[in-house]
Structure 1
Amino acid sequence: MDEKTAELRDIFVETTGSESVTERQEESPGSLTDAPDDEERNRRVAELVAAMRERYEFESDLSNEDLRRVVRGFFDGDTDAELAAVLEADADEEDVFVARTDLHLLRESDADASFPVDELRSLLADGADDEACAAALDTDAETAARHRRVVEARREATRANDRFRADFEELLTDSNLSARLAEDARRDGLRDATEDIETDVSL
């Protein structure tokens, strides 16, 4: 039993008080049968990647197929090095980083900087290039460029209401599935409980 399966089982047991799944619960509407299969997920992710590439000016020169792999691997928890190793292109971690920022897929660690990021935002707003930012922030141009990409990606994502990342997440994570399974289990548990109530009403 993998970790996700164990989590779903725990949700079921907690909400129903039962460790067994009845035949009716297995066949209830809105269960696992409505989830897209892996081929369908890949197709939808590829469509979203193409839509983003058409809407935004990508710096990445990876193919759309490799960008799809970056999306899948990101939500599988792969590191940039692990992602670079499975791409068709001869890519390194920096190539994956650029692709991720194009796709609005940021890690918490991307925001870690040795200088105040607010100062970088102000410099960029004033039109400063990477070299000017590096000089003002006492860092090198490569580091300034990396954090510029993070700032720009975050700004683009915010303007789009994080729509693309949310769409990727909905397709590739079990968060919605878990919530749906829990709701199905609660509903079935309530139905079983009410069926056991004896009514004795005299009119």
Structure 2
Amino acid sequence: MDEKTAELRDIFIDTTGSDTVTESQEETRGSLTGTNEQTDARVAELIGTMREKYTFVSGLEDDTLQTVVEQFHESKSDADIADTIGVDQETVFNARMDLHLVRETDRNAPFELAKLRALHVDETPLDERASELGADESDVAHYSEVVEADLESTRANDRFRDEFEELLTDSALTNRMAQNAREDGLRDATEDIETDVSF
């Protein structure tokens, strides 16, 4: 350590009363898409908007529905979510349908789902749907909820489904970063190209 560095060190110690420059850091939960408070508030707002717009059948309070949304986007199963909020799996399923949170596996019906969708749109009674599809009424009722959730979501341009995903996963951020990287790459690649166009 040279003389100048030693002088600076002494001044620092006199001023701060410490010989270390490392500040302790507090661990906080982070979010790629915004603060947790902002995210929580927006998710709650979306749930409130959906409750006003649609008929919810699960019977769960908004704060419990918020837990369902969060755990769904953490890829938790209905059984796991049910354990967390203290209800049965059917209630969790109903809550997911209320919120347009349909898994791909929800669409694995033992009959042609497109045919059920057409019967649902035509408001065909449940017993007639079951007869037409050659299936149990309980199965038809279950998949009718899936169809209704998908139809509601489509009519809303998947607004709620997409915004929940954007708020609670980093997929949207990843897509934006990839898009920016592509644009930057194209810009760099074309910077030195001379354009000589004559008409």
TM-score normalised according to structure 2 size:
0.70
Which consecutive residues of structure 2, in runs of 5 or more, have no partner in the other structure? 1-29, 192-199
SS of equivalent residue, structure 2 residue 101: coil
Distance of aligned partners of 1:119 and 1:181 in 2 relative to their CA distance in 1, 3 Å threshold: closer
Alpha-carbon separation, structure 2, partners of 1:177 and 1:44: 17
| RMSD, matched Cα | 2.7
> Is the CA contact 2:32–2:173 (under 8 Å) kept in the aligned structure 1?
no
Residues 23-38 of structure 1 aligned to structure 2 (within 5 Å)? 35-38=33-36
**What is the alpha-carbon distance in structure 1 between the residues aligned to residue 174 and residue 113 of structure 2?**
36
List, as ranges, runs of 4+ consecutive aligned residues in structure 1 with deviation greater than 3 Å: 32-35, 179-184
Shift of 1:129: 2.5
Deviation at 1:33, TM superposition (A): 8.6
Q: Which stretch of the first structure deviates more once superposed, 110-119 or 71-80?
A: 110-119
Provide the rounded CA distance (Å) in 2 between the counterparts of 1:58 and 1:102. 5
Residue type at the aligned position of 1:105:
L
Cα distance in 2 for residues equivalent to 1:85 and 1:39: 25
Counterpart selection for 2:139 from 139, 143, 167:
143
| Cα distance in 2, alignment partners of residues 154 and 179 from structure 1 | 24
How far apart are 1:180 and its partner, in Å?
4.8
Distance 2:123 2:31 in 1: 52
Q: Which residue pairs with 1:4 in the alignment?
A: none
Matched residues in 2 for 1:145 and 1:33: separation? 39
Residue 67 of structure 1: how far off its partner (Å) = 0.6
Higher Rg: 2
- Provide, for residues 138-181 of structure 1, a one-character-per-residue CA deviation record: whole Å limited to 9, x for no partner: 22221111110111111111110000011111111112333455
**Structure 1 unmatched ranges of 5 or more:** 1-31, 195-203
Give the % identical residues: 43
1:101 and 2:97 matched? yes
Tell me by how many angstroms 1:103 deviates.
0.6
Structure 2 CA distance for partners of 1:41 and 1:113, relative to 1, 3 Å = same
Shift of 1:102: 0.9
Residue aligning to 2:49 = 51
Distance of aligned partners of 1:43 and 1:33 in 2 relative to their CA distance in 1, 3 Å threshold? closer
Q: Distance in 1 between matches of 2:153 and 2:114?
A: 18
Q: Which amino acid aligns with 1:117?
A: L
Q: Distance in 2 between the 1:57 and 1:155 partners? A: 14
User: Structure 2: how far apart are the matches of 1:70 and 1:50?
Assistant: 14
Amino acid at match of 1:137: L
Three-state SS of the structure 1 residue aligned to 2:34 is coil
Counterpart of 2:116 in structure 1 is 120
Alpha-carbon deviation of 1:38? 1.8
Aligned to 1:69: 67
Deviation at residue 96 of structure 1 after TM alignment:
0.8
Alpha-carbon distance change, 176 to 125 in structure 1, aligned in 2, over 3 angstroms: closer
